[in-house]
Amino acid sequence: MSITEKYSGVELTTAGNVYFDGKCVSHDFVTADGVHKSVGVVLPAKLTFGTSKPEVMECVAGGCRYLLKGASEWKTCSPGEMFSIPENSGFDIEVADEPFHYICHYG
C-alpha cells in the first residue's frame, strides 16, 4: 500500500480547523485540479464524526480503529489504507497511542 506523502501545486488555507477541543486539528487545501481536501491529525481519543458529503479518510501515519455508523464491527486503518463514509452518516474513531494522520477526501 503506497502512502500519499505530499501534494504539489495546492492552495493551502493557513488557519486550521479545531474539533473536539483540539483532539482533531486539520488544514484545508484545494488541489491543483480544484478538489477540496484536508490534512489532519486525530490525537489519542475516542470521537464521533458526522458527514454531510461522502468522505474518504486516508491514513498517512499512525493508525486508528473505526466503526461506521450502523455497522457492528470495528475495523482498523493503517498507513496507506483508507475507509469510506457515506454522505449524511458518520463514524466513531478510536486512536490509541500514536496520533492518526490523515487526508480527508470530500465528495
Does residue 12 bind a second copy (CB under 8 A)?
A: yes
d(CA 9, CA 7): 7
- Indicate the residue among 26 and 51 with the shorter CB distance to a second copy: 26
Cell of 7: 501534494
Residues 17-36 that bind a second copy (CB under 8 A): 18, 21-23, 25, 27, 29
Residues 69-98 that bind a second copy (CB under 8 A): none
Does residue 11 bind a second copy (CB under 8 A)?
A: yes
In which residue are the cell numbers 486508528 written? 64
Quickly count: other Cβ atoms within 10 Å of residue 42's Cβ. Answer: 23
